[in-house]
Amino acid sequence: MKTSQQRAKDAVQPHRHPGRELKAPLRRLRGLKTRRAILRKAVNLASLEGLEGLTIGRLASALRISKSGLFAHFGSKEDLQCAVVDAARDIFVEKVVLPAYEFHGLKRLQTLCENWLSYGEKKVFPGGCFFSAASLEFDDRPGRVRDRIVELMKKWLGNLEQAARDAQLAGEIKKEVDVHQLAFEIQALAMGANWSSRLFRDQNAFRLVRGAILQRIDQATGTAQLRQ
């Protein structure tokens, strides 16, 4: 038997439904899976048609769902674009950055470069490197989308530079090498591969740039002189 005090508490506190409490996390999980699937489609579409051309209407048409269904996930075109940039970042980090972090110094730098080239060559995004295209598309367009792309590209360059600096501290790269310049040159070469591959449909672009990047790293380590 419940006491009068327990009955009073029951009257004040809302009645709980265990079934509803269990269903709520499942609904959230399904919602997250749906959002991820939408964003993956949006990333692929943006890599082919451009991020600026990606609208809620265009995406709804590609997914064959209603605009109102997408508005539940993204309130505006800019919100959608920012979410797409973040989704592309997550894929890039998974494919390119994280696998390199099991190594240190020169090996990490080499692996970052190789992973980036493989990611572009294998067309992880159907339109080539998402960030190479988005960087060119938004370089003169102020706003949240550009700010997000700038932040992420700076982090990527920072990863290259830090790996080179660690290699330099370990004696793997010559002391006189400017590691900031080295990172800049590697990124410029890599973006050139994506450009040539997409614009000219050059099947050899990544092979040529892979050789150029390895040669530049050899110059930084001094092994290029040893091979001559």
pLDDT in tens, 119-162: 999 999 999 999 999 999 999 999 999 999 999 999 999 999 99
How many angstroms separate the CA atoms of 159 and 186, rounded?
Answer: 12
Q: Is the pLDDT of residue 195 over 70?
A: yes
How many angstroms separate the CA atoms of 54 and 48, rounded?
Answer: 10
Residue with tokens 């060119």: 136
- Residue partners of 86: CB distance under 8 A and separation at least 6: 148
Which is more confidently placed, 23 or 55?
55
How many angstroms separate the CA atoms of 113 and 216, rounded?
Answer: 12
Q: What is the pLDDT of residue 69?
A: 79
**What count of other Cβ atoms lies within 10 Å of the Cβ of residue 187?**
19
pLDDT, tens digit, for every residue of 90-106? 999 999 999 999 999 99
> With the C-alpha atoms ordered 39, 44, 45, 51, is the resulting torsion angle positive or negative?
positive
Q: Is the pLDDT of residue 172 over 50?
A: yes
Write the single-letter amino acid at 144: R
Mean pLDDT score across all residues of the chain: 88
Q: What is the pLDDT of residue 8?
A: 41
Tell me the residue length of the chain. Answer: 228
Q: Is the pLDDT of residue 3 over 80?
A: no
